[in-house]
Amino acid sequence: MTRDQAPERTGAEILLEALVREGVDTIFGYPGGANLPIYQHLPEFPNLKHVLVRHEQGAAHMADGYSRASRRVGVCFATSGPGALNLTTGLATAFMDSVPLVAITGQVPTAMVGRDAFQESDVIGVSMPITKHSYLVTDVKDIAKTVKEAFYVARTGRPGPVLIDLPRDLQQKMGPWVFPDTIGIPWYHPVSRPDPAAVAAAARALTRAKRPVILAGHGVLLSAGEEALLKVAEKQGIPVGTTLLGVGAFPVQHPLALHLTGFMGTGWNLNAVIECDCLMMIGMRVDDRVTAKLDGFAPNCETFIHIDIDPSEHGKNVRPQISIVADAREALEALERELPEQPYRTDWLLQIDRWREEHPLRAKIANSWLQPQEVLIEMYKHAKSEAIVVADVGQNQIWAALWWNYDKPGLFINSGGSGTMGFAFPAAVGAKFARPEKTVFCVTGEGGFVMTMQELSTAVEHKVDVKIVILNNASLGMVRQFQDSFYGGVRSAVDLSVMPDFVKLADAFGLPGYRARTVAETRDVLAKAMAHKGPVLIDFVIDPEANVYPIIPLGKQLKDFIEEPLSA
Amino acid sequence: MSEGRVLSALVANRPGVLNRVSGLIRRRGFNIENLTVGPTLDHSISRMTIVVNVGAAPADQAVRQLAKLIDVVDVRDITDEERVECELMLIRIENAAQRRGALVDRAGPNARVVAEVEDVVILAVNGTGDELDHMLERLRGFDVKGIARTGIVSMMVDETHPHAVPHWARLAERDGEHPEETEVMSIL
Ligand SMILES: Cc1ncc(C[n+]2csc(CCOP(=O)(O)OP(=O)(O)O)c2C)c(N)n1
């Protein structure tokens, strides 16, 4: 169909139709003056389910959780000015973790842009450093192609959030409905295929190595590379650890699993990284939370191999000898073909087993308090590795990452790069929309939970079956632990003993709320929560002095990790 | 001339592209010494010449970060390539009427008188950054009251290099199509 024959529709309809074409089924959003034409036409699109959030930050996190749980592009709407600005924390969170989102913000009418109109803010300017790309649409004819391009950019290469700022007058203006077949940025060619020579070099280096280790990051999950990773690891018996965002890329219970690496990684993982002679890092940024003090990161490693789709990540922190710029899955598949079978390196694997025995994950259970690990263990009994766990930020995040046997991708979701408190609950709601058949737990501290708890109302409205697990230690636990350990023991501005009664709060929002103080109560309330269909909240009153271990003191090296003190 | 690295970028002529490029360089902790932008033969594409001071860091980080911007078609560090560079400078000289002859002599053939009002002469000079610096040295004895410099533009001599040919020819080689997207959709 040519432009002239195309039926005329309003910009809002063109936008919504383009979203349908992109396969969108769920939108998390909030209306306001600058996007009302979109909302006027929304009911005409029954295939687009709109979820009215209670704060725009919730919309961005829900779209994010939706995307991480499904590997589809998440979509959120907001109005201009304050609406769009409320999205920014969510956009930054998605940007740091390479999550594909498309955010569509209303903007004041074109003629008013730049005149400090009511609810005008420079959303393109504000969002530039926290989006992969952004568009200010200036012509109704550009709306469809901008949507198409935005989705393409969001999900290809290294994924990320993309923002479309759409002035209100264009939403109302008539224009031709034409959905383009091609994308107008022919120079944008994210590399995905690995260079065969580099792959061959990596295969040789791994084969030659006496003590190889693989670390896997979010890129493995984003590219669906987990199966290829398993094959590579099993072919030569190479142990595999993951970053916080890579949790799920390799089954935790696999004999070759090293579990979590980095700042709060397991002792056997950190020892393996310290002693390895060849380290292959896949789909990860190798940031400071992974390396700790740089000169103590893999000090015995002779060959660093880095696989990442983003060329700028190569050598940013650690200079690799072998660098493969490629999609993680494609690189791993190529590597698997290239890698010869060879007998497992028994000495190395036995050494790792010894470290695993010497440095197990430990939790104290000797006092009268409920321990967070006990809560997670009881939860795991109900869910095994079939549930999705969305963790917030702080101690709860690390406990949830460590004390669970994740064996599939998309089952552990957290804000790793940005560390955004308040992420978990809305992200869990988004994850449940994406995968309604899954049990979804939101594991959160009471501090982070109250940052976005207004979404309880959204969850109740849509009967979103998220089991909210508050690990309530009556303080900003992680900060308290840092103050105790690294800031002279001065506990400053971390006390949260004055907080709402969460059971009553749940009641006020219209969902069941429970409290547990012991393991027996934990079992009881979990059974009730699992039986309930719809959102449910449990306030677990845990040991206020419980700490996260292992942990590497700030500014120290991997080898300086501290473990949970043995109970007396 | 400074220690800066000379980056040459072809960028989509879209709104905000200058903001994106300069913002990124600032965010990543590099300093811009000069930045010029102008059209190319293809009006949808502009060329930027950016001189960045990357300090001790290698310039490839700056280049790779810039290459990630969706509106950047191509970017290269051309500092060490065979290349030409050129900058334009306007120089305003007062009390020049009596010494006009000497001034024109001293400025040399690269300089043109572009304005002359009463006692003021404005010269336009082009040359490399270094040549313009030398020009200012040479005019020391005159009453130089102000200058305006454009910042350098630079171009590689080797026309066969992919970066030097107009971008559309290079893109045609890639047959314009987007590669098959790797299907990563469902997580189930
Ligand atoms: C929005 C935001 N503000 C501040 C911080 C800094 N911070 C990191 S962890 C933490 C404490 C979190 O306390 P809580 O939510 O109760 O969880 P806990 O650590 O006790 O499990 C804080 C304040 C952050 N990560 N995000």
Whether B184 and A223 lie within 8 Å, measured CB to CB: yes
Whole-number CA gyration radius for chain A: 24
Judge whether B187 lies within some domain: no
What is the structure's pLDDT at B78? 92
Residue-wise pLDDT for A322-345, tens only, equals 999 999 999 999 999 999 999 999
- CATH label of the domain that carries residue B32: 3.30.70.260
Residue-wise pLDDT for A151-201, tens only, equals 999 999 999 999 999 999 999 999 999 999 988 888 888 878 999 999 999
Q: How much of chain A, in percent, has pLDDT values that exceed 70?
A: 99
| SS3 call for A175 | strand
Given CB atoms, is A184 within the 8 Å cutoff of chain B? no
Judge whether B57 lies within some domain: yes
* Domain boundaries A372-548, corresponding CATH code: 3.40.50.970
Residues B15 and B76 reside in one and the same domain: yes
The band of A562, judged by pLDDT with boundaries at 50, 70 and 90, is very high
Q: Where are the beta strands (DSSP E) in A46-144?
A: 49-52, 74-78, 101-107, 133-136
Which residue, chain included where needed, has tokens 């899954």? A438
Lowest mean pLDDT among A483-492, B29-38, B140-149: B29-38
pLDDT at A460 over 80: yes
Residue-wise pLDDT for B65-100, tens only, equals 999 999 999 999 999 999 999 999 999 999 998 999
Tell me how far the alpha carbon of residue B60 is from its chain's centroid: 18
Return left, alpha or beta for B138; rule: phi > 0 is left, psi -120 to 50 is alpha, else beta.
Answer: alpha
Burial category of B3 from C-beta neighbours within 10 Å (exposed 0-12, middle 13-18, buried 19 and up): exposed
Residues B63 and B104 reside in one and the same domain: no
pLDDT at B175 over 70: no
What is the structure's pLDDT at B185? 42
Q: How far is CA B187 from CA A49, A145, A357, A408, in A?
A: 21, 28, 34, 9
With a 6 Å cutoff on the Cβ, whether A414 touches ligand 1 is no
Which among A110, A61, A111 has a CA at the least distance from the CA of A86? A61
- CATH label of the domain that carries residue B115: 3.30.70.1150
Which residues have C-beta within 8 Å of that of residue B10, sequence separation ≥ 6?
Answer: B40, B45, B46, B47, B48, B72, B73, B74, B75, B163, B167
Given CB atoms, is A454 within the 8 Å cutoff of chain B? no
Residues B12 and B56 reside in one and the same domain: yes
Return left, alpha or beta for A119; rule: phi > 0 is left, psi -120 to 50 is alpha, else beta.
Answer: left
| Residue to substitute in A476, A492, A495 for testing ligand 1 pocket (most ligand atoms within 8 angstroms of CB) | A476
pLDDT at B169 over 70: no
Residues B24 and B51 reside in one and the same domain: yes
For residues B145 and B134, what is the distance between their CA atoms, to the nearest angstrom? 17
Which residue has a Cα nearest atom 4 of ligand 1? Answer: A421
Residues B95 and B134 reside in one and the same domain: yes
Report the domain count for chain B.
2
Give me the mean pLDDT over the B122-129 stretch. Answer: 96
What is the structure's pLDDT at A3? 54
Residues B23 and B75 reside in one and the same domain: yes
What is the structure's pLDDT at B181? 52
For residues A155 and A117, what is the distance between their CA atoms, to the nearest angstrom? 34
Q: Which two tokens stand for residue B135?
A: 């020009």
Whether B16 and A152 lie within 8 Å, measured CB to CB: no
Judge whether B164 lies within some domain: yes
Residue-wise pLDDT for A375-420, tens only, equals 999 999 999 889 999 999 999 999 999 999 999 999 999 999 999 9
Judge whether B186 lies within some domain: no
Q: How far, in Å, from the CA of A518 to the mean position of ligand 1?
A: 24
What is the structure's pLDDT at B163? 55
Tell me how far the alpha carbon of residue A435 is from its chain's centroid: 16
Which residues have C-beta within 8 Å of that of residue A4, sequence separation ≥ 6?
Answer: A176
Nearest Cα residue in chain A from B13: A185
Do the beta carbons of residue A265 and residue A199 sit within 8 Å? no
Q: Where are the domains of chain A?
A: 3-176, 196-358, 372-548
pLDDT at A17 over 90: yes
Architecture of domain A3-176: 3-Layer(aba) Sandwich (3.40)
Buried b (16+ CB within 10 A) or exposed e, A282-304: bbbbbbebbbbbeebbbeebebb
Strand-pair category, B45-53 with B5-12: antiparallel
Contacts of A191 in chain B (CB under 8 A): none
Q: A3-176 with A372-548: one CATH topology?
A: yes
Residues B47 and B71 reside in one and the same domain: yes
Asked if the interface predicted TM-score (ipTM) of this complex is over 0.85, the answer is: yes
Residues B65 and B100 reside in one and the same domain: no
Give me the mean pLDDT over the A484-510 stretch. Answer: 97
Which among B89, B82, B87, B88 has a CA at the least distance from the CA of B155? B82
Judge whether B188 lies within some domain: no
Residues B137 and B164 reside in one and the same domain: no
CATH for A196-358, among 3.40.50.1220, 3.40.50.9100, 3.50.50.60, 3.10.310.10? 3.40.50.1220
Q: Which atom of ligand 1 is nearest to the CA of A396?
A: 21
B window 10-39, beta carbon within 8 A of A: 12, 15-16, 19-20, 23-24, 27
pLDDT at B172 over 80: no
Contacts of B61 in chain A (CB under 8 A): 312, 315-316
* DSSP result, chain B: --S-EEEEEEEE--TTHHHHHHHHHHHTT-EEEEEEEEE-SSTTEEEEEEEEE-TTS-HHHHHHHHHHSTTEEEEEE-TTSSEEEEEEEEEEEES-STTHHHHHHHH-TTEEEEEEETTEEEEEEEE-HHHHHHHHHHGGGSEEEEEEE---EEEES-TTSTTTS-HHHHHHHTTSPPPPPP------
Is-above-0.90 flag for pTM?
A: yes
Q: How far is CA A350 from CA A32, A276, A301, A358, in A?
A: 62, 14, 19, 12
Q: Which two tokens stand for residue A13?
A: 């309809």
Vertex A563 angle, CA A561 and A566, to 5°: 155
pLDDT at A482 over 70: yes
Whether B184 and A136 lie within 8 Å, measured CB to CB: no
Range of the domain at B26: 5-82+157-181
